Amino acid sequence: MSVKFWGGLGILLTAVMACEGHGIAARPVEDGIGIQAVYDDGYPVAFGDVKVFAPDRADKPALEGLTDRNGCFMFRPDTNGTWRVTVDDGMGHAVSHELYFDGGKSAAMQSKEPVSKRHGVMTGLSLIFGLFGWIAYLRGQRAERRRE
Amino acid sequence: MHVCEGVLGWPVLAAGGAVAAAGVAIGLRRMQVEDTPKTAMLAAVFFVASLVHVPFGPGSVHLILNGLAGIVLGWAAFPALAVALFLQAVLFQFGGLAVLGVNTVVMALPGVAAYYVFRALYGTGRGPMCVFVLAGVLAAGTVLCSGLLLTGALAWGGRAFLRVAGGIVTTHMPVLVADGLVTGAAAVFLLKVRPDVLPPSRRESRR
């Protein structure tokens, strides 16, 4: 009996220890960084393919995944430096973004504020007509010189 | 339909840049002084068109109008669209400076092809309905060809061609229809108001 008892107990303990050995635990982690991919009309790139390139390995992605339904993707770098994140919606749209990570303090490299749409349109139209007007002026002058 | 920075490798970027530079040079060479205002106008239309989003289904669509630019301008579509794409990249971060050449080729090359097809078929019928259908179909075909060129560029960079092509064609179906309708209507308007803006048919240019 005692052989059966101790044998059974041994097997049980071994099984419990084995289970503990393969168990996983989860704990919250802070200081992650991430991006949100959006189309130019503000709609999120939901479930787009994401590749993350570490600072020291630009040729092979360190991490791959998908954006969530809001176009967000978060990760926690293990190396300081500039991390590159590419998002591809599989339909011809893709974007590459660089994030700088420095021991828990991260800042987007491309943090400059884009021009507001109204100002951008006005500036763009002015530059287009100005540029082509200038081209027309130069060509007109050249044509006049040839006539002379 | 903009490719962004960091997606394509340098061979694709270099090839795109070289073809775009050649196209811009040919376009500037062929552009007459009197063509400059319409070139500027269509560059402005292309620049603004992609910023105006119309709600469609779960998302939204925007016009491209590279077919209209191509039909009206011919080779001058290259400098016009290059300038517009450059300003979109600088002012709105659409696309990028490194991929400017590829984006220019993707948008302008099918437009130039549409110009030649329009010229070849324009003389066969000049009624408003004929011009509407011809310009509309060519504009839709231009958007489709741009999608396929973009797919080719992405496939050269290592993407699966069929998967990307299917996605691009599916998502751009509303754009295809919208561009066709707007370009057809614009061509009919030009035919009635300023027919000399439309390219001459082959027969006319031979005379």
Give me the residues paired with residue A94 across strands. Answer: A88, B3
Residue B159 confidence (pLDDT): 66
C-beta atoms of A117 and B1 within 8 A: no
As a three-state string, the secondary structure of B82-128 is HHHHHHHHHHHCCCCCCCHHHHHHHHHHHHHHHHHHHHHHHCCCCCH
Tell me, yes or no, whether B118 lies in a domain.
yes
Identify the residue with better confidence: B162 or B191. B191
Q: Which domain holds residue B40?
A: 10-206
User: Cβ of B43 under 8 Å from any chain A Cβ?
Assistant: yes
Identify the residue with better confidence: B19 or A4. B19
Map out the domains of chain A as residue ranges.
Answer: 33-112, 115-148
Tell me, yes or no, whether B1 lies in a domain.
no
Tell me, yes or no, whether B71 lies in a domain.
yes
Q: How far apart are CA A61 and CA B28, in angstroms?
A: 42
Chain mean pLDDT for chain B: 84
Q: How far apart are CA A84 and CA A75, in angstroms?
A: 12
The structural domain count of chain B equals: 1
Residue A96 confidence (pLDDT): 79
Residues of chain B with Cβ-Cβ distance to A39 below 8 Å are 59
CATH number where B111 lies: 1.10.1760.20
Q: Specify the residue for token string 């030009």.
A: B190
Please give the ipTM for the structure prediction.
0.75
User: Cβ of A92 under 8 Å from any chain B Cβ?
Assistant: yes
Q: Which of A47, A86, A89, A91 to mutate to test the interface with B (most CBs of B within 10 A)?
A: A91
Tell me, yes or no, whether B92 lies in a domain.
yes
Q: What is the pLDDT of residues A104-122, one digit of tens each?
A: 555 555 444 456 778 888 8
User: Cβ of B138 under 8 Å from any chain A Cβ?
Assistant: no
Residues of chain A with Cβ-Cβ distance to B53 below 8 Å are 40-41
Closest residue, chain B, to A140 (C-alpha):
B33
C-beta atoms of A128 and B47 within 8 A: yes
Mean pLDDT (whole number) for B43-61? 76
A147 Cβ contact partners less than 8 Å away, ≥ 6 residues apart? none
CATH superfamily, with its number, for domain A33-112: Immunoglobulins (2.60.40.10)
